Amino acid sequence: MSNQTIHKEQVSRIYPSNEHLMFRESLRKFVEKEVEPHFTQWEEERLIPRELWLKLGNQGFLCPFVDEKYGGMGVDFGFAAILSEELARVGTGLSGISLHSNVVTPYISSFGTEEQKKRFLPKFVSGELISAIAMTEPGAGSDLQNISTTAIKDGSDYIVNGQKTFITNGILSDVVLVACKTDPKATPAHRGVSLLLIERGMAGFSRGRKLDKVGMHSQDTAELIFEDVRVPAANLLGEEGKGFLYLMDKLQQERLLTAIGGIVAAEDMLDITLQYVKERQAFGKPISKFQNTQFKLAEIATLVQIGRTFVDDLIVKHMEGQDIVTEVSMAKWWITDMARRISAECMQLHGGYGYMEEYKIARRYRDAAVAPIYAGSNEIMKIIIAKNLGM
């Protein structure tokens, strides 16, 4: 038996399992009923209603990996991947739900105290509390160790001052995981970074404007402002000065989820374009009969298939606990860049209709533009790859 055959058998046994498939089927039915009919309206309103979070939580779709004693199902990463995929098939504007469930919550599960887990996790699972993570600042994006938001110890509290921007779930969030400097003079700088859980209603914590983005309209993105916010030391996540290490520990999963969203978007663009070219007539025949159309879609289909194979392999490796930082960086860069490129090609194949908002490809085109930027820009991904190649 070849190694390739063995690997295929392992993949089919680990992911997707029968339990994964049942979860996907149940979630897809929910999405078809509760999400798809309303998504265009949410895009226009620039917000996902809180009611959807509660419905997702009630059905057990949020934070499924959380331990059962905190209200979750205690399942593996495959369920998180499925949640991201099924929401991404509708639209990238739903990504804030995956960020809450699959990015922010794992920080508390991994590094939180027992008190923090009991206080936050059950309501994260139910959808009663919505979370966000605040790293990016007006003057600091990918360079996380040089953030300027400070948290200075004052007795048993921290006094937080600073500003964050481009924060997903910035308007709706009830709990924000904030990267800040507890030791602004630390050398090297990353040793001064800590993570604090800042809650809605804390004096001095306010939202700036809801940002008007090119795409991802239904996903609320905002500025967050901290003016002498007094945060109890009980809201420190993990140990002081280890925030940067915690962020690095979880970025592999966040970037894998970004690659998953990218491949789903690419698959969807291929599907809707194939359907369109078979129906659209020009010069007396479907435009799918023209060689240029056939060659272009053959190229796109090949890219999408390569991307899907790569992502599924990484999902299994991540579930097994392998260190795949290099491969995930490759996937995040290559797949999001590929999705952005084919969005323009698929729009072109739609002709003038592709530029109309009533056609889904227009939204996909707008939404694809930002994926190479967030979760670490693709330029940063190339730096990581090069460094891990020994350069």
Structural domain ending residue among the three candidates 214, 241, 268: 241
Beta strand extents in the chain (DSSP E only): 131-134, 150-154, 157-168, 175-181, 193-199, 205-210, 221-232, 236-237, 281-282, 285-286
Class of residue 156 by CB neighbours under 10 A (exposed 0-12, middle 13-18, buried 19+): exposed
> What's the Cα-to-Cα distance from 376 to each of 21, 248, 272, 368, rounded to whole Å?
31, 11, 29, 15
Instruction: Please tell me whether residues 255 and 382 are part of one structural domain.
Output: yes
Q: Does 124 share its domain with 96?
A: yes
Q: What is the DSSP letter of 211?
A: P
Q: Which of 182, 206, 241 is a domain's end point?
A: 241
Residues 218 and 303 in one domain: no
Q: Answer yes or no: do 274 and 230 share one domain.
A: no
In contact, 378 and 336? CB cutoff 8 Å: yes
Six-digit token pair at 355? 């530029």
Indicate which residues carry an active-site annotation. Answer: 254
The set of residues, in sequence order, having a beta carbon less than 8 Å from that of 107 and lying 6+ positions away, is 133, 177, 195, 237, 246, 250
Q: What is the 3-state secondary structure (H, E, C) of 218-261?
A: CCCEEEEEEEEEEEEHHHEECCCCCHHHHHHHHHHHHHHHHHHH
- Same structural domain for residues 278 and 377? yes
Q: What are phi and psi of 189, to 5 degrees?
A: -60, -35
163 shares its domain with 83: no
Q: Which of 241, 258, 281 is at the close of a domain? A: 241
Task: Give me 233's structure tokens.
Answer: 């030391």
Residue 390 CA to residue 55 CA, distance in Å, equals: 48
Rg of the Cα atoms in the chain: 22
Query: Do 29 and 163 have their domain in common?
Result: no
361-384 pLDDT per residue, tens:
999 999 999 999 999 999 999 999
Tell me, what CATH number does 69's domain have?
Answer: 1.10.540.10
Query: Does the pLDDT at position 310 exceed 70?
Result: yes
Decide: 107 and 246 in contact? Cβ < 8 Å. yes
16 cis-preceded (ω within 30 degrees of 0): yes
Predicted pLDDT of residue 341: 98
Question: For the domain that residue 276 is a member of, what is the CATH number?
Answer: 1.20.140.10
DSSP 99: I
Contact between residue 281 and residue 287 where contact means Cβ atoms under 8 Å apart: yes
Query: 52 lies in which domain range?
Result: 3-129
Q: What is the pLDDT of residue 3?
A: 44
Give CA–CA dist 70/93, Å, rounded: 28
Query: Is the model's pLDDT at 109 over the cut of 60?
Result: yes
- CB-based contact 350:274 (threshold 8 Å): no
Do residue 252 and residue 297 come from a single domain?
yes
Same domain, 364 and 249: yes
Q: How many domains does the chain have?
A: 3
Comparing 82-91, 141-150, 199-208, the range with the smallest average pLDDT is: 141-150
Phi, psi of 135 (to 5 degrees): -110, -50
CA angle, 171 then 121 then 314, to 5°: 85
Residues 96 and 140 in one domain: no
Task: Say yes or no: 155 and 198 in one domain.
Answer: yes
Predicted local confidence at residue 145, as pLDDT: 80
* Percent of the chain with pLDDT strictly greater than 90: 93
> How confident is the model over 69-96, as pLDDT tens digits?
999 999 999 999 999 999 999 999 999 9
Closest CA to 147 of 221, 231, 247: 247
Q: In whole angstroms, what is the distance from residue 66 CA to residue 72 CA? A: 4
First to last CA, the chain: 37
- The pTM assigned to this predicted structure is 0.93
CATH code: domain of residue 186: 2.40.110.10
Q: Give the model confidence (pLDDT) of 265-298 as tens digits.
A: 999 999 999 999 999 999 999 999 999 999 999 9
Distances (CA, A) of 266 to 32, 262, 338, 353, 361: 20, 6, 8, 19, 11
**What pLDDT does residue 309 have?**
97
Same domain, 383 and 255: yes
**pLDDT tens column, 2-50:** 444 444 444 456 899 999 999 999 999 999 999 999 999 999 999 999 9
Rounded CA-CA distance 139/288 in Å is 48
